[in-house]
A and B are shown apart, each in its own frame.
Chain A
Amino acid sequence: GNIMMFGLRKGYLNKTKLKKRMNRSYHTAVPHILSSRNIRQFIDGKDTFMFDCDGVLWKSNNLIEGSIETLNYLKDMGKRIIFVTNNSTKSLTKYQQRFLDFGFECDREDIFSSSYATAAYLQSINFKEKVFLIGASGIEEELSLHGIDYFKLDKTPYYKYSDQIIDDIPDIEVGAVVMGLDINLTYSKIATGLHYLRNKNCIFVVSNLDYALPSINGSLIPGAGSMASMLQCASGMDPVLVGKPGPIFYDIITSK
């Protein structure tokens, strides 16, 4: 459908508009504590509930107790349930299957991952060139589904000499360097991304900037944002942010 691009030109984020949108606050300064006294008012006044996934529904592979029961309850009450996750590692199909495995049925149309949003964003700006991707299979699948041509480096060897890294970089015209979470991130991948970004016509897009993620035991581990910061630092370029809290994700969801 038509994507309402809120003050966006191809590849560039309008920072003033982003700031204004982020500073708008519709809520009081102190949160209301949810209880049985205000629960009806909380539920009845809303048609749609948008849920983040990691740390809300589950932690890594472990379901958080009561989450699925709440989802099914709200669904039975006739509420629209939408999932909005910055996690770029899985495709929509995998997410849908995961919900099913956990006991909740939903449509692919109700799930919005930053992997999906990244591909949808590129499609919305009529991106017809090649993408160099540093990320997981989630973004790969969504790029393929949206007909966007991409390549990535899978196994990068350790190079003793720096010049060897450059010699091995594919001599291809790249229109965008796209980054998401990549647990197999290596120096060579960042060096390759830097090489392509030195072309002024190449844009830099990130699925999300979450600096850290909750891990199984409750501690934090590095997130996509910390990885993207390497390329940000080396290139001196600020990336276009697709995921929360940027406006692009919101525009993509509301346009559907």
Chain B
Amino acid sequence: MKTRAEYAQKLKDLGDDHVSEDDVFTSSYTIASFLNDSGFSETVYLIGSSGLAKEFEKQGIKYIKHDGENSLSVDGVQSVALDDNIKAVVMGNDRAIDFGKIGFATRLILEKNCDFYATNLDSTWVTPTCILPGTGSLVSWLSTAVGRQPIVAGKPSNVIYEILVSRTGLNPQRTCMVGDRLDTDILFGNSNEMKSMLVMTGVTNEEELQGSKIVPQFKTFCLGDIKRFATNQ
């Protein structure tokens, strides 16, 4: 996952002249901000990408992460002593997920009663060429093992909504959320008293939209339609 600065740069490279880092809210930024806002001062056990780790470093939150050389074996998971300073498990997308990481996190949550957070619960990750397991599928390895659902930082949770409001001062009734996913983007907009618009250039197709209880207020084929309709092209 990219940092906010990297996202802003990507948009600038694509031609958006107005964007800055402060306009970008990632689920990594959200979870780190949420922990800081709530006065968290201990250590976190992180499962996720280097982008997630960078965000925690940037926001000054202590963390432990296993990767490569310090990854735990099956025996290691069972015999390792659990650090009393770790008070929360935070999980994001990690394509290097393994038994050691999930096993260690399982023990922290069950034996040390650590809080359990996830950046988001998207079940799949849709790319132009394929459908891959999303963060939600990876998180389910841990949530099923511990019998507990995480507090979710990202859409459609109101954790990210609270962070947005406090950082941007937005008025929900005069804000529109635009997205391609019904169970994250549109649900997020609808349940936080914002307006919502679905675009059809991503995950959702007509069939899924017809069968869904989540109804966007507006729908259009693609983002470019806004300018096209507004300027009568």
Q: Which residues of B contact A198 (CB under 8 A)?
A: 131
Q: Is the CB of B77 within 8 A of A221?
A: yes
A103 within 8 A of B: no
Q: Which residue of B lies closest to A222 (CB)?
A: B145
- A185-B99, A219-B107, A219-B110 given as contacts; is B132 within 8 A of A165 (CB)? yes
Would you give the 0/1 interface string for B121-162, flagging 1 where the beta carbon is closer than 8 Å to chain A?
Answer: 001110101111110111011111111000000000000000
Residues of A within 8 A of B140 (CB): 226, 229-230, 232-233
Interface size on B, residues (CB 8 A): 37
Residue ID in chain B nearest A169 by CB atoms: B130
Report if A225 contacts B (CB, 8 A): yes
Among B12-20, B90-98, B169-177, B214-222, the one that faces the other chain is B90-98
The reply to whether B129 and A230 contact each other, CB–CB distance below 8 Å, is no
In the bound complex, CA of A190 to CA of B132 (Å): 9
The answer on a CB contact under 8 Å between A222 and B111 is no
Residue of A at shortest CB range from B129? A163
Task: Tell me the smallest distance from the CB of B119 to a CB of chain A, in Å.
Answer: 15
* Proximity bits, B174-193, A CB within 8 Å = 1, else 0: 00000000000000000000
Is A195 engaged at the interface, CB distance under 8 Å to the other chain? yes
Complex contact B131–A226 (CB within 8 A) = no
Task: Give the residue of B95, B110, B129, B131 whose beta carbon is less than 8 angstroms from that of A220.
Answer: B110
B141–A229 CB distance below 8 A: yes
CA distance A98 to B134 in the complex (A): 40
A194's partner among B78, B132, B147 (CB-CB below 8 A) is B132
Contact B96 A222 (CB under 8 A): no
Give the contact-size bracket for chain A: 35 or more
Nearest-Cβ distance from residue A123 to partner chain B, whole angstroms: 29
| Cα(A225)–Cα(B138), bound, Å | 13
CB pair A217 B97 closer than 8 Å: no
Give Cα A191–Cα B127 distance, bound, in whole angstroms: 13
Bound Cα distance from A186 to B142, whole angstroms: 14
Q: Who on chain A is nearest to B78 by CB?
A: A215
Beta-carbon contact of B95 and A217 below 8 Å: no
A162 close to B130 (CB less than 8 A): yes
A186 engages B98 (CB within 8 Å)? yes
Residue of A nearest to B68 (CB): A158
| Residue in B77, B98, B138, B144 with the greatest tally of chain A CB atoms within 10 Å | B144
Q: Which of A158, A191, A215, A230 contacts B141 (CB 8 A)?
A: A230
Tell whether B48 is near chain A: CB-to-CB under 8 Å. Answer: no
Known: A183-B99, A185-B98, A221-B78. A190 touches B133 (CB 8 A): yes
B145 & A226 in contact (Cβ 8 Å cutoff): yes
CA separation between A233 and B138, bound complex, in Å? 9
Name the residue of chain A whose CB is nearest to the CB of B110.
A220
A211-B147, A219-B111 in contact; A194/B77 too (CB < 8 A)? no
Contact indicator B102/A187 (Cβ below 8 Å): no
Given contacts A163-B127, A234-B137, 6 further A-B contacts (CB under 8 A): A159-B95, A162-B95, A187-B94, A219-B111, A221-B77, A233-B137
The 6 lowest CB-CB distance pairs between A and B, nearest first, are A226-B145, A222-B145, A226-B144, A234-B137, A229-B144, A234-B133
